[in-house]
Amino acid sequence: MDWEIEAYCRSVASLSPETVRAYASDVERFAGWAERGGTTGPSGVNRILLRRYLAFLATRRYAKATISRTAASLRSYFGWCTRRGLIAADPSVRLTAPSPDSRLPRVLGHAELDQLLDSASAAPPPGHTGADDKAAGPPSARDLRDDAVLELLYGSGMRVAELCGLDVADLDLGRGVVTVTGKGSKQRQVLVHDRCVAAVRSWLAGPRMSMAGPGSDSGALFYNSRGNRLGARDVRRVLDRRSPVPTHPHALRHSFATHLLDGGADLRVVQELLGHASLQTTQVYTHVSKERLLSVYSGTHPRA
């Protein structure tokens, strides 16, 4: 019997491309393992087999986060199989896995952010004395694009996939508002500050079209060097060029949330801006803020 993994992937196409790829990989890996044991399709799978598989992953020293995601992938897949009538009962109901180790997200300091976000036109290279201003010339189209990308990520807290999916039509720069399509195709509006608006306007004023090609998506806000819509890997390269230390793009989202809370923002406001369905997801940033407060207290109080 066919596992019908391609049909399953089409059924979850509304999720982010990264999530779809992860789910497909998890299900394909399980199907291959099950077939080596003689199970040729979802109808031959029971709860015991699923638990054996998760135990197998643990013996192979897979990370807890990977095992937990695999359990979620299998629950999604077998739930779909049940709805399609491929199996009579869902063997993955209440399938659990070890919770991944809790790790506080990295938050960039203000000095790091200043260095990262200083635009190419405003931030001279190390060792620059001013004598070669004319030789340096104006910032390139790529520089202005990178400015706008980084300002948007930190200024709005949007996810990288959300930024890459932006169209020019999603911008209302006059009001400082961007319409973002998040997980599950849910739309929300995020706010952007004046410096972010200025960076995006500079990108739209000419550099954007200079990076577009004959086959470019005419509505896309950002393009890569090949004229295609900017992708997650392209954004990672932007950070690699601009950050003095290795920095994941998601750190800008973490920093956005933590700095808002440090400044006194209400947790539910931050939840709305981040697009979190559950307040519990947003609460991790309160732990980050407490860690930073403790660090400041320990380092400054004379009795600490």
**Whether residues 72 and 177 fall in one domain:** no
Q: What pLDDT is recorded for position 48?
A: 95
Same domain, 183 and 279: yes
Distance between CA 298 and CA 31 in Å, rounded?
Answer: 52
Residue 215 lies in a domain: yes
CA 60/CA 54 separation, integer angstroms:
10
CA-to-CA distance for 302 and 95, rounded, in angstroms? 51
Answer yes or no: is 89 within a domain.
Answer: no
- Residues 151 and 58 occupy one common structural domain: no
- Phi and psi, residue 283, nearest 5°: -65, -15
Same domain? For 198 and 295 the reply is yes
Residue 109 to residues 77, 156, 197, 218, 263, Cα–Cα distance (Å): 41, 17, 23, 37, 14
Are residue 121 and residue 67 in the same domain, yes or no?
Answer: no
Q: What is the pTM of this model?
A: 0.66
Domains in the chain, number: 2
The yes-or-no answer on residue 186 being catalytic is no
For the question of residue 188 being annotated catalytic, the response is no
Residue 253 annotated in active site: yes
CATH code assigned at 48: 1.10.150.130
Mark whether 159 is an active-site residue: yes
pLDDT digits (tens, 9 = 90+) for 50-95: 999 999 999 998 988 899 999 999 999 999 999 999 999 999 998 9
Do 267 and 174 share a domain, yes or no?
yes
Residue 95 lies in a domain: no
Please give the residue range of the domain that contains residue 51: 5-84
Does residue 56 share a domain with residue 200?
A: no
Please report the pLDDT score of residue 131 as a whole number. 44
Q: Which of 106, 183, 188, 292 is catalytic?
A: 183
pLDDT over threshold 50, residue 124:
no
CA distance 203 to 269: 29
Of 59-68, 105-114, 169-178, 287-296, which range is least confident? Answer: 287-296
Asked if 276 is an active-site residue, the reply is: yes
SS3 155: helix
Residue 51: the pLDDT is 94
- Give the three-state DSSP class for 50: helix
Q: Using only the alpha carbons of the chain, give its radius of gyration.
A: 23
* Largest Cα span, the chain: 77
Burial of 62 (0-12, 13-18, 19+ CB in 10 A): middle
Residue 227 lies in a domain: yes
Instruction: Give tens-digit pLDDT for 228-237.
Output: 999 999 999 9
Active site residue 290: no
User: In this predicted model, what pLDDT tens digit does every residue of 204-213 receive, in sequence order?
Assistant: 999 999 999 8
Mean pLDDT of 85-111: 82
pLDDT-based confidence at residue 291 (cuts at 50, 70, 90): low
Whole-number average pLDDT of the chain: 87
- Residues with Cβ within 8 Å of 193's Cβ and at least 6 positions away in sequence, in order, are 155, 176
pLDDT digits (tens, 9 = 90+) for 142-200: 999 999 999 999 999 999 999 999 999 999 999 999 999 988 788 999 999 999 999 99
